[in-house]
Chain A
Amino acid sequence: MASKETGLGEVLKGIWRDNPVLTLLLGLCPTLAVTNSAYNGIGMGVATGFVLIGSNMFVSILKSIIPKSVRIPVYIVVIATFVTIVDMALKAFMFELSQSLGLFVPLIVVNCVILGRAEAFASKNTVLRSILDAVGMAVGFTLALFVLGAIREIIGSGTLTLFQMGETEVKFFVLGKSYPGILVMILPPGAFLTLGFMMAARNVIQSRLDNK
């Protein structure tokens, strides 16, 4: 089953139609756990995106020499390698981010988006298409995590953090400095609630588009 999409369509489908978080509901563990601030959402999205692009590319290159019966172990080795690279790079270059993402970086290994795309797409398509597919999925995943993190952070703590490194940070007090915060939005239930509303909103927009 080779994909019939155009190159651009391959990228766009990951952002809207097959968005990994909002439509496919894949990789929800990191999605729900780390998105208590917008910056954490971006960080997790970019880290996962890097792994996704790397693993899709390699799986697609290696697809003809991988025997069918050991394909899953091979995918896992490729994915785990990229995750470890990301983990090391974060610890070396973005110390604060690696501290706030903590355990969830190594856990990217078991993010179903990545294994899912390797198995369902990269193992059946050309290298270029696999990379485009991964870019789309990565952007879709990052956008979903960013929006989720931003909504939770604004309602939960009244701030919006776009960047943080040492003393430099880009942080807006959206709801004023005296905003007391709504704790539940920072806790896991807030993630479920927000994700539910985001999925509902996506479905409403999609059905409006379909009816036209």
Chain B
Amino acid sequence: MPESLKMILVLTLISGAAGLGLSAMNDYTKPLAADNNRKFTLSSINGVIPNAATPDACQKYAPAFDNAPDKDAICVGASTVYRGRKGNEVVGIAVEAIGEEAYSGTITVLVGIRMNDGQLSGLKVLKHAETPGLGSIMTKCEFQQQMVGKGPGDINWTVVKDGGDVNQISGATISSRSLLRAIHKAQDIWKNNREDILNKAPIAEGEVCDGK
């Protein structure tokens, strides 16, 4: 057999065997991985729609809803809005909003808003690449305490540096602004998309909101 033919044959066979093995592995692990992702989403939503009059960011509460919000989501623009219902009434929403122009790319935040008065009921930073120890402080409950439990009219939702009431993280004003941008998006959705939140049919499982 000529050398070139042997090369082609060996590489093809090995790649084929690798592909077969991987597709079997994929079939086996995919449902498990999807289940993990679902559990993670659900536990994040649990944390931002708490059953408390004025929630404290550092306390753990039972969720205020009794449905499965991860299966009851709608898209508003590029944001995913999960609806927490008690009985059939929407008691709170968890908005997966993107904060642009963070220090390093964008941040993804799950913002909990109480339905009747727009109170910020919880915050969870899902994805960020901010500087550890500086921008990453936004994931800490001690920083979030000043915002969680406050209604849209209670404080001026901009950082102190820009004339607002939110103490920016020292050394990470840009990250703080980006987090507030995500919160603003969620508050706007609560204010302007009430009809959609109450009446729109949920998106299919696995569907992604891309703003189109």
Contacts and interface: CB of A to CB of B under 8 A. Distances in A.
A, B from the same assembly: yes
Interface of A: 36, 62, 65-67, 69-70, 73-74, 77-78, 80-81, 84-85, 88-89, 91-93, 95, 181, 183, 186-187
Contact of A186 (B14, B36, B133): B133
A70 B25 contact: no
A69 B7 CA distance: 8
**Secondary structure of the A side of the interface?**
helix
Given A66-B10, A67-B3, A95-B40, A88 B26 contact: yes
A77 B14 contact: yes
A84 B28 CA distance: 13
A93 B32 contact: yes
Interface in B1-49: 3, 6-7, 10-11, 14-15, 18, 21-22, 25-26, 28-29, 32-33, 36-37, 39-40
B15 A77 contact: yes
B11 A70 contact: yes
B105 to A, nearest CB: 13
- Interface size class on chain B is 20 to 34
B interface secondary structure, majority: helix
19 contacts: A62-B14, A66-B10, A67-B10, A70-B7, A70-B11, A77-B11, A77-B14, A77-B18, A80-B18, A81-B21, A84-B22, A85-B25, A88-B33, A92-B29, A95-B33, A95-B39, A186-B132, A186-B133, A187-B131
A96 B97 CA distance: 22
A183 B172 CA distance: 14
Contact of B29 (A80, A88, A181, A186): A88
Given A84-B22, A88-B26, A91-B36, A78 B132 contact: no
Interface of B: 3, 6-7, 10-11, 14-15, 18, 21-22, 25-26, 28-29, 32-33, 36-37, 39-40, 131-134
Given A92-B29, A93-B32, A85 B10 contact: no
A36 B18 CA distance: 33
A178 to B, nearest CB: 14
B168 to A, nearest CB: 18
A81 B18 contact: yes
Which 3 pairs from chain A and chain B are nearest by CB?
A92-B32, A92-B29, A183-B133
A89 B133 contact: no
A81 B18 CA distance: 6
Nearest to A187: B132
Nearest to B19: A81
Given A67-B3, A92-B33, A183-B132, 12 more contacts: A62-B14, A66-B10, A69-B3, A77-B14, A81-B21, A85-B21, A91-B32, A92-B28, A92-B36, A93-B32, A95-B40, A183-B133
Given A92-B36, A93-B32, A186-B132, A65 B10 contact: yes
A77 B26 CA distance: 17
B22 A89 contact: no
